[in-house]
Structure 1
Amino acid sequence: MSLLLQYTLIFASVLILVALGGCFSEHSGVINLGLEGIMIMGALGGALTMRYLGENSSHFVTILAVVLVSAAVGMVYSCLLAVACINFKADQTLVGTALNLLGTAGATVIVKAINTAANPDDVSSIIQYAGAKKAFTVNIGSFEFSWFMLITALLLVASYVLLYKTRFGLRLMACGEHPQAADSVGINVYKMRWAGVLISGFLGGLGGIVFITAGVSEWRFEYGVAGFGFLSLAVMIFGQWKPQRIALAALLFGFFRALGNVYTGFAFLKVMNLPSSVYNMLPYIISLIVLAFTSKNSRAPKAEGIPYDKGQR
């Protein structure tokens, strides 16, 4: 049972971080379908940081460096979305899709080049970080607590406060609801949308490193992030673009994803003799069912996906 709780919380942490990233971006008026690509690039930055820091650095330095690098790489990569969609008014769906394809392919090429430079016979896209990963976990009895869980909880609270209790958050949401009205009272819509996309890159990149360190000590980057970027979008929609609801939705989806890791520990599930792939499919099946019944009642920001034209009224 503790193992189920452990995996539920860590997978929910990934979904919360990435869904919050999508939430900030869409509240500003930009649909970020490139979360999958942002995740893999953030994961690449964090994994390389762990690889080069190794086991010799203090745990605090390792945690701080990995978190900052993952978030920074995610932010830098999200700039591609911001430039294309905010400054050049490109189609946000197409740009997001392109970022997803480029992210996995780019990360694979970079890792293979690094591995080949270190060892000409190594053409894999794998990065190992077994030693450095220990900095993120603390054993509490049979439960393996991850510092990422605490970081996620803090960022969840910070996101709620930022969106609903600060002038910045209210201005950001105004740009996603009626950018012309926001502009008329002196709010710079372009800057607010840039801020929303950069925050989504920060949280998405951090979600990527949390995902690849969940239970494993190496990652093959050509696998991407197994659709967790799109699953996070489902969590965001099911959570109605509200941090507190996103957290509850993430726990639900995280629970079903965790079953794929621990189902052999439950006798009634083991006796069913279902392949592990069925359990791995559960969160995606559940997301289809949930969205089929709830998406018609969803209320997305009114101006999301619509490029802002300052001259339009």
Structure 2
Amino acid sequence: MATTVSSPVTMAIPPKERRFPGWLRGVLWAVGTIAVLSTASYLTGNTDLTSSSTSQTALRLALPILLAALGGLWSERAGVVNIGLEGMMILGTWGAAWGSYYAGPWVGLIAACAFGALGGLLHAIATVTFGVNHIVSGVAINLLGLGVTKYLAHLVFQPLSHNPRQSPVVPKFDTYSASGLSSWLGDLEHQQRVVISDVAGIVRGLITQVAPLTMLAVLLVPVSYLLLWRTRFGLRLRSCGENPVAAESLGVNVYAYKYVAVLISGAFAGAGGASLVLLKDGADYLENQTNGRGYIGLAAMIFGNWRPGGLLSGSALFGYTDGLQLSGRGPAVLALLYAAVLLLVIVVVVQLVRRRWFAAGAAVLAAGILYAIYYSVDELPRDLTPYAPHFVTLIVLAVASQRLRMPQADGFIYRRGQGS
């Protein structure tokens, strides 16, 4: 009697034909978001929404989230859930400080990637080779990252800084600016012209005092897309996350591809940890300085529908809201509520066009609540101000989210020879 082998994939559903290519939709949303911020800045009189200082801070704060999200993308596209991104980032922070202190920031970055990849290797051994539950293994990696870095910091940094929780001052990356263009954009920003000054402020912040690590991280987004979606290697890796049984039947070494993906994932997460240590405005190594950014990166990846362009948008949104509350404090955060209301109005229109009535209703309700808060208070309480941008971000993400489609074998515990 023939036996039936269970598979995480039962039927291949052809994707719906898109009206616009993905990159064009991203450009349209970016233009729409800038228009919303410009309108809100004009109506509220708060220029912090589109100032160069806000966008510059946002870029720095979005960087570790972006790298963690890219790490999650590589791992989960191969079918391995990586909750351990936080622990791998923590390992990267220590590796960056150690390498940079003794040999400079570039060696620090390499060391951070190596330590993060080591965490990825442990996760791959547990999940791929021994079939441990992916969530359990990820939580263990997070705890292990905290413990290992605490021990290493006590061993290496305490004799140098007399503080087991902090490293001595480490060399950091130099920054570069497009001087002529930056000065011209600065003049336009200070003229306070509607739309023109807003765009000038945002762009100026993105091209002023930029570190090589920032340029590298942004470049990794299109590179990841090209490798995963435009090469034979990427097709085979993604097939391991969709149907590893079918991939093996076609001669793909599923274990090898999963290992490679999780190692790359750990290296990216480690680089995210390095960005907290090696950028000029960042602190030196501090115990547990990631502060949950690995989890936020995972959330940005899910919001981005496991796609490079989408996770870039999610990371930018989280970084922007954080940068705004640091640059502008209470009044800027209150203006952000108004901008969120305008953005949700656009979301309502889009959802109505798509005939998603429930999502449109949720967006209307969210817009009403945010506007009521904006209208009823003149100033947010100080204790609430640091967290208000995160609430706004979660609301926008919740009502604007698309129909998510995770890799069908994501988290599936696969054993070699399962399809035979």
1:43 matched to 2:109? The reply is no
CA distance in 1 between counterparts of 2:67 and 2:332 reads 33
Residue type of the partner of 1:16?
A: L
Residue type of the partner of 1:112?
A: H
Gaps of 5+ in 2: 1-50, 183-204, 336-377
Secondary structure (helix, strand or coil) at the match of 1:145 reads coil
**Residue 93 of structure 1, aligned match among 119, 135, 145:** 135
TM-aligned CA deviation for residue 244 of structure 1: 1.1
Cα deviation code 1:145-190 (max 9, x no counterpart) = 2222211122112111101111111101100000001000000110
**Is the CA contact (8 Å cut-off) linking 2:89 and 2:270 kept in structure 1?**
yes
CA distance in 2 between counterparts of 1:273 and 1:295 reads 27
Which residue number in structure 1 is paired with residue 23 of structure 2? none
TM-aligned CA deviation for residue 237 of structure 1: 0.4
Distance 1:224 1:102, change over 3 A: farther
Residue type of the partner of 1:305?
A: G
Which residue number in structure 2 is paired with residue 189 of structure 1? 254
Give the TM-score of the pair, scaled to structure 2: 0.66
Residue type of the partner of 1:101?
A: L
Q: Please state which structure has a larger fraction of its residues in strand.
A: 1
Which residue number in structure 2 is paired with residue 309 of structure 1? 415
| Higher relative contact order (Cα pairs below 8 Å, separated by 6+ residues) | 1
Secondary structure (helix, strand or coil) at the match of 1:30 reads coil
Distance 1:118 1:224, change over 3 A: closer
1:231-310 matched pairs, under 5 angstroms: 231-264=296-329, 272=379, 274-275=381-382, 278-282=384-388, 284-286=390-392, 288-290=394-396, 292-293=398-399, 297-310=403-416
TM-aligned CA deviation for residue 40 of structure 1: 0.8
TM-aligned CA deviation for residue 309 of structure 1: 1.8
Which residue number in structure 1 is paired with residue 71 of structure 2? 21
Which residue number in structure 2 is paired with residue 129 of structure 1? 169
Distance 1:146 1:296, change over 3 A: closer
**Is the CA contact (8 Å cut-off) linking 1:257 and 1:279 kept in structure 2?**
no
Deviation larger for 285-294 or 94-103: 285-294
Distance 1:264 1:88, change over 3 A: same
CA distance in 2 between counterparts of 1:300 and 1:204 reads 20
Which residue number in structure 1 is paired with residue 228 of structure 2? 163
1:147-226 matched pairs, under 5 angstroms: 147-214=212-279, 215-221=281-287, 223-226=288-291
TM-aligned CA deviation for residue 216 of structure 1: 2.6
1:74 matched to 2:116? The reply is yes
State which structure, 1 or 2, has the greater radius of gyration over its C-alpha atoms.
2
| Residues paired across the two proteins, number | 299
Cα deviation code 1:105-156 (max 9, x no counterpart) = 221221122233447xx243101335x11x3323556832222221112211
Distance 1:29 1:163, change over 3 A: same
CA distance in 1 between counterparts of 2:98 and 2:330 reads 33
**Is the CA contact (8 Å cut-off) linking 2:79 and 2:258 kept in structure 1?**
yes
Residue type of the partner of 1:187?
A: V
Secondary structure (helix, strand or coil) at the match of 2:387 reads helix
**Is the CA contact (8 Å cut-off) linking 1:234 and 1:291 kept in structure 2?**
no
Distance 1:266 1:283, change over 3 A: closer
Residue type of the partner of 2:323?
A: A
Task: State the identity as a percent.
Answer: 34
CA distance in 1 between counterparts of 2:401 and 2:131 reads 27
CA distance in 2 between counterparts of 1:156 and 1:267 reads 30
**Is the CA contact (8 Å cut-off) linking 2:87 and 2:143 kept in structure 1?**
yes
Residue type of the partner of 1:303?
A: A
Gaps of 5+ in 1: 54-61
Residue type of the partner of 1:242?
A: R
Distance 1:283 1:171, change over 3 A: farther
TM-aligned CA deviation for residue 67 of structure 1: 2.1
TM-aligned CA deviation for residue 197 of structure 1: 0.2
Which residue number in structure 2 is paired with residue 138 of structure 1? 176
TM-aligned CA deviation for residue 12 of structure 1: 2.0
Measured on the aligned residues, the alpha-carbon RMSD in Å equals 2.5
Distance 1:30 1:287, change over 3 A: farther
CA distance in 1 between counterparts of 2:80 and 2:256 reads 12
Which residue number in structure 1 is paired with residue 146 of structure 2? 104
Residue type of the partner of 1:74?
A: G
**Is the CA contact (8 Å cut-off) linking 1:42 and 1:209 kept in structure 2?**
yes
Residue type of the partner of 1:27?
A: R
Cα deviation code 1:216-244 (max 9, x no counterpart) = 332321x3411100000110000001101
